Amino acid sequence: MTIERELAGLGGPIPAGLTESVALGTGLAEGYDLYPSAVGEVVVTFNPEGVSTLDLAEGDYLDRFYRRTGKTLIRAEAPRAWARHLPTSIEAGTPGKVPVDLRPLTRFQAQVLRVTSQIPRGEVRPYRWLAKEVLSPRATRAVGSVMSHNPIPLILPCHRVVRSDGHMGNYSLGGPHLKLHLLEHEGADPARLERLARAQVKVQGDMETRVFCLPSCHVVRSARRVVDFGDPAEAHEEGFVPCGQCRPV
């Protein structure tokens, strides 16, 4: 069936008589569908390369997408090869078997988001950690900018990235209250992390193993006796060694 004129108006002109399947297959338009999530219904857009954006299904999300991309959205089913994995990816906070389309991004931006997708559920990492992981330790501000413009939140879990001082910070998908809700949903205990940030605790050590970790790391959270440190250098001075799981900075 051909695209109706009112649908084309949502995303700019499309040649008359063009079928929806051709528009989707050639990239003149993108598909979308609605999915449940921990923060309410979300709209996921996709093309033959993979998921391209994720947004809250609130207000005129079709118009928001067009303003950002200049493309029309067509309600459609995601490609059969990975459509069934999308709900799992949204809930788990990782792409998993779902491809993501990062072509509009720079190499640095895409690299930062790929590393972000590796942050374990229920844990957080500061900007400076991401900067170090992508071998650009001075790029903490640039990392923050990538987080604020992440096109595929929830699946590329920027809600698990916090400020370098440990405070939770803002969140592009609906604001900081949704970030706190997501972290609570995942068991990260953001209230505890905020208390540690106010106390300027950057890492914590397991008194028995003499390993120090970022405060949200599951390794130190399972420890029976924990000591707080202001930074990794202080932990090193006390004879602690860095955790190989969270690689604290």
Whether 219 contacts 213, CB under 8 Å: yes
Q: What is the mean pLDDT of the chain?
A: 92
Query: By C-alpha distance, which of 219, 204, 216 is closest to 157?
Result: 216
- Distance spanning both ends of the chain, measured CA to CA: 55
**pLDDT tens, 166-206?**
999 999 999 999 999 999 999 999 999 999 999 999 999 99
Q: What is the mean pLDDT of residues 25-47?
A: 93
User: Is 158 among the catalytic positions?
Assistant: yes
CATH number of 200-249: 3.40.10.10
Would you list the domain boundaries of the chain?
5-92, 104-188, 200-249
> What per-residue confidence (pLDDT) applies to 4?
39
Q: What is the mean pLDDT of residues 21-26?
A: 76
Q: Is the pLDDT of residue 14 over 60?
A: no
What are the DSSP E strand ranges found in the chain? 29-35, 42-47, 50-56, 72-75, 125-126, 161-162, 203-206, 211-213, 226-229, 241-242
Q: What is the mean pLDDT of residues 107-131?
A: 98
CATH topology of domain 5-92: Double Stranded RNA Binding Domain (3.30.160)
Tokens of 202: 């950057």
Q: Which of 158, 213, 243, 246 is catalytic?
A: 158
Instruction: Say whether 200-249 and 5-92 share the same fold.
Output: no
Which residue do the tokens 């060694």 mark? 241
CATH number of 104-188: 1.10.10.10
